[in-house]
Amino acid sequence: MKQPSDEPEDWTIQRERIIGMGESSAHKSYYPLLQQRIAELERFRALFDETNDMVMVIRGSDLKYLDVNRACSEQLEYDHSDLLVREVGIVIAPSEQKRFSRMLDYAKTSGRQERFESVMITHHGKEFPAEISIRVVRFDDDEYGIIVARDIREHKAYERALVTAHKKLNLINFLTRNDIKTQIFIVRAYLDVLVQKISNPDTADTLAKLKDSTVEIQRQIELAENYRDMGAQNPRWQNFNEVFLYALSHLPPVSIVRKNSVKGLEIHADPLLEKGLLHLLDYLMKHGKPDGEILLNQAETDPGMKIILEKAAEGFSLDKKDHIFGWEKTKGSTQDLFIVREILAITSISIKETGKPDEIRFEILIPPDGYRIR
């Protein structure tokens, strides 16, 4: 029987060769690179664990966790090792399970990051709102999901407080406006009585001007009342042709000629879009011939979707075009156009007057991410 070597130095040399540390090892040159890679992984792990967002990596084949960061374990009240043997749905509230599965499927098929709000649940059954993003990637024919979740309880609390404050302000504004409108009604009634009793033309003229001023004050209050909710609600996708028809229905019969019409055009705009279009149409009706045609043109361009409303009428000089959208009254301007511009600007939609001397032409430009065709 062959006896073990009595020369320990031979075994030391062989061991060093096996683990890649000996002088004659063929792999010695890779050791510094290995150290560098280990250092990089340690830095990544430190960053992975230090972020406050919950980060989860799942395997696409069985939807089980491959890894989670420290924030995930702490906020969901799981031991790291315990969570790694669970399926991803364990941290989603029962009421949100189906929706979460749909979003995960969307992420698989789209290849894009899917972001949504959901409800998560801790190991001890406590539910909380969360913003979740999912992205599915493929490595070596295997799918992996990267899920990043953020606790938004504090955000929701601020949101509720803001809504409550907004409701209280609306109530105060409503009561104040009603009181002012009542007082204006009383003043106008007294002025009417005085006009009937005064025989002096100069005094009568002064009273008439006072009456006009009270009418204007009442109009300003009604304008503020109509648009008190501008920007208070989230913008939404709206079918342009439907909203346009709704706006048109509030006006006397008017001739609309559609040069181009993009079917299924939806734009992302404030819920007051209908009122904005109503003011534009009303403005065009009041300028030029009462029975004149209004031309509607829609076209997709490089800067975005253009919607053009125009009518034959006395146009504006170049230095007046911007002023018609101002709050201060000038020739041809109206505060309604100021409101229109502000409604559109909430979602980065611009409007300008580009007509020739014999026409009024409103050009609305919707940015590429502000419209879709369905």
Query: How high is the pLDDT of residue 6?
Result: 52
With beta carbons less than 8 A apart as the criterion, state whether 144 and 60 touch. yes
Query: How high is the pLDDT of residue 19?
Result: 46
Query: How high is the pLDDT of residue 24?
Result: 46
- Residue ranges making up the domain that contains 240: 236-373
**Is 3 contained in some domain?**
no
With beta carbons less than 8 A apart as the criterion, state whether 152 and 118 touch. no
Domain match, 240 and 335 both? yes
Query: How high is the pLDDT of residue 23?
Result: 47
Domain match, 329 and 248 both? yes
Closest among 320, 233, 234, 325 to 280, alpha carbons compared: 325
**Is 1 contained in some domain?**
no
Q: How many structural domains is the chain composed of?
A: 4
Residue in this structure with the two tokens 């009542």, named with its chain if needed: 182
Domain match, 169 and 137 both? no
Give the residue ranges of the chain where pLDDT is below 50.
Answer: 1, 5, 18-26
Q: Can you give the length of the chain in residues?
A: 374
With 0.75 as the threshold, say if the pTM is over it.
no
* Residue 324 CA: distances (Å) to CA of 29, 86, 294, 336, 364: 75, 63, 19, 10, 15
Query: How high is the pLDDT of residue 365?
Result: 95
Domain match, 36 and 87 both? no
Query: How high is the pLDDT of residue 296?
Result: 93
Domain match, 209 and 272 both? no
∠ Cα 87 90 93 (to 5°): 145
Domain match, 178 and 104 both? no
Helix H or strand E segment including 143:
strand 142-151
d(CA 43, CA 80): 19
Domain match, 71 and 128 both? yes
Domain match, 45 and 56 both? no
